[in-house]
Amino acid sequence: MSATATLLFSCPDQKGLVAKLANFIYSNGGNIIQADQHTDFSAQLFITRIEWQLDGFNLPRDVIEPAFSAIAAPMNATWQIHFSEVIPRMAIWVSKQDHCLLDLLWRQKAGELNGSVSLILSNHLDLKPIADQFGIDYYHIPITKDTKAQQELQQLELLQHHKINLVVLAKYMQVLSADFVEKFPCVINIHHSFLPAFAGANPYQRAYDRGVKIIGATAHYATPDLDEGPIIEQDVIRVTHRDDTKDLIRKGKDLERMVLARAVRSHLQHRVLVYGNRTVVFT
């Protein structure tokens, strides 16, 4: 497969947007291999994702963004262009539970994720053996109420130093400060409930207490408001009266790793566009 460029683009809806974007690509010799569009009529917003082959594209790599910028400016657009040979760099943050971490590492190794795992970070030492086994650097940064602010600075430095594009909270079990999220806004979290049901702590116990017949998991971008960020993916599984809290946790672990993996996969393929508190996930 030849190298491709992927445009994620949104702007106020108006006539001729598809034509203008397609013409930019065609007139420069590009071949569109996937294009998907959504118009949110209530927000009057046009949203698109276009992927085209760079083989035969006349613009040099470093000219593409400036050239496109000239076209996008009068449209009041928000946009990103990603090149397929630039592989995003992930940091996976964990606490003590291994299931999401292992699942992501397997999938990364199996080629399911368009990204590399540059580091694993944890407030505990429990999962260091897994990092060792996969040959990935493991940073142990314990967090207490008193040290949190200072530790977040260290975390930000790490992200910067390793040129991380995406932080995946794979059951990190710590709340990031509003300050942190502002400074590094590209964070995907997995919450072990079907949000907005059971936001906050102990969702499985509360799901059991409420007597629900289905449990869920939710992958979302982290925002300063805990469990309130834009949702990328959710899934559910049936439970019955035979399932106690321990069973809910066990069944939930399968949900968590599936849902998180799908969200991370979509994000790394540049298929997720956020606007307001919503996502468009182009499939």
Task: Give me the residues that bind a copy of itself (CB under 8 A), please.
Answer: 14-20, 22-23, 25-27, 29-42, 56, 99, 102, 106, 110, 112, 133, 194-198, 209-214, 216, 230-236, 240-242, 244, 250, 253-254, 258, 277-281, 283
Tokens of 270: 């540049």
The length of the chain, given as a count of residues: 283
Among 227, 235, 243, 244, which one carries the catalytic annotation? 227
Min separation Cβ 54 and a copy of itself, Å: 13
Specify whether 227 is catalytic.
Answer: yes
Closest to a copy of itself by CB, 66 or 211:
211
Q: Which residues contact 27 (CB under 8 A, 6 or more apart)?
A: none
Asked whether the beta carbons of 169 and 188 are under 8 A apart, the reply is yes
Indicate the residue type of 279: T
Tell me the Cα Rg of the chain.
21
Asked whether the beta carbons of 84 and 36 are under 8 A apart, the reply is no
Task: Determine the angle formed by the axes of helices 245-268 and 203-210, rounding to 10 degrees.
Answer: 130
Closest to a copy of itself by CB, 107 or 148:
107
Asked whether the beta carbons of 191 and 227 are under 8 A apart, the reply is yes
Task: Determine the angle formed by the axes of helices 99-109 and 245-268, rounding to 10 degrees.
Answer: 30
Min separation Cβ 256 and a copy of itself, Å: 13
- Report the Cα–Cα distance between both ends of the chain, in Å, rounded: 19
Compute how many other C-beta atoms are within 10 angstroms of the C-beta atom of residue 55: 12
Min separation Cβ 26 and a copy of itself, Å: 4
Q: Which residues contact 211 (CB under 8 A, 6 or more apart)?
A: none
Min separation Cβ 153 and a copy of itself, Å: 32
Closest to a copy of itself by CB, 16 or 60:
16
Closest to a copy of itself by CB, 185 or 230:
230
Min separation Cβ 137 and a copy of itself, Å: 19
Closest to a copy of itself by CB, 152 or 256:
256
Any idea which residues carry the catalytic annotation?
227
